Amino acid sequence: MVTIALDAMGGDHAPGEIVAGAVAAAAADSSMNIVLVGDEPAILTELEKYPGNGRIRVEHAPDVVGMDEEPARAVRVKKHSSIVVAARLVGEGQADALVSAGSTGAQLAASIFGMGRIRGVKRPAICTVYPTARGFKLLTDAGANPEVKPEYLVQFARMGSIYARSFLGMENPTVGLINNGSEDKKGTETVRAAHMLMREDSSLNFIGNIEGRDVPAGAADVMVCDGFVGNIVLKLTEGMATTLFSMIREKITSTPVRKIGAALNRKAFRELKQSLDYSEYGGAPLLGVRGVSMICHGSSNARAISSALKAAARAVESGFIGEMEQAFSAGSSGEDQENL
C-alpha cells in the first residue's frame, strides 16, 4: 500500500481540481492511500461532493506558500504551510511520496528540508518526461538550477539514467548533453567541462552533444542541461504545441471541403494532441532528495493530478530512490552536499 501526501492548496485550481484528482486516483487504484494536506474546512467542503472515500484523509495545514514568495524563506517561516507539512510527512515516514502543483521553488526547498538530500548529491534536479518523435524521453534539469557547475550536470545525467532504468524500464539509456553544436569544443566553459567529465564516466552511456533540433527528435533517452535552458525548452515546447494546434485547427476548418477532411482525420489529431498533453503523464520527479517528490504543472486539472498520483505510486514501487542512494554513496561525505 502506497501513501501519498498531496498538497491540496497548491496550483491554479486548488483545492477543487486537486481534490477531484485525488478522488479519481483513489477510485482507480485500490492500493493507494492519499493524504490531502491543507486547509481542512476548504478540503472537506470539496470532499463532500464525492461520498465514500475511505482511503482519503485530511491533514490540516492552515498556511499556503504563495507563488510570489521567496521559496526558501517562506518554507522556513511558514512551518504549517501545506507544502511544508506534506514534505514533512514523507520525511517522517508517514507518507511515501509528495505531489504538488504549487510553487516549484517552495517544493524544492520543502523537499530538501523535509526529506533531506541523498548523500553525495550536490544539487537536486527536476526530471520531466518529454514527448518526442521516438517516444517519451527525459529532460533534466527542467528548472531547479539555473546556474550550474560541470559536476552538477554530470550528476543530473547519472540521476536521470537511474530513473530511466528504474521507472521507464530503459535497459541502457543514452545520455545527450544539450549544446549549441555537436562538436566537442562547442558551448560555454561549463558545458565543455561537463562534456569531458561525462565522456570519462563509465556509468553513463554518453553519446555526446545534442542540439536544440535534436530534442524533439528524441536523439537521447536522457537529455541534460542546466535548469535555465531546460525550463526554456519545456515552456517553448508547450507554447509551440498550443500555437501549432491552434493554427492547424484554423486552416483545416477554413473551407467546407477542408472541414470534411478534418472530420475524417479527427482521431489522428486527437491522438497527436494527447501525446503532447502534460496531463497524460503527470508530474516531474525532483531527483536527488530522499523520497519521491512529484512536481506538477501549475495549471494542473483533476486529470493531471490523478496522473501525477499514479506516477508517484509507480515511482515509489520502482525503488529508484534506493538505487540512487547506492549509486551516490560510494566516496561521498557530508561536505559533498552544497547549500540551497
CA 45 to chain centroid, in Å, comes to 29
Q: Is 254 exposed, middle or buried (0-12, 13-18, 19+ CB in 10 A)?
A: exposed
- Between helices 16-28 and 302-318, what is the axis angle to 10°? 50
pLDDT of residue 131: 87
10: Cβ contacts below 8 Å, ≥ 6 apart: 18, 64, 82, 83, 100, 101, 102, 103, 107, 296
Q: Which helix (H) or strand (E) holds 84?
A: helix 82-91
Q: What is the dihedral of CA 310, 314, 317, 319, to 10 degrees?
A: -140
pLDDT for the residue numbered 335: 46
Residue spans of the chain under pLDDT 70: 269, 271-281, 331-340
* The amino acid at 164: A
225-248 in b/e burial notation, b at 16+ Cβ within 10 A?
bbbebbbebbeebeeebeeeeeee
> Does the model's pTM come out above 0.85?
yes
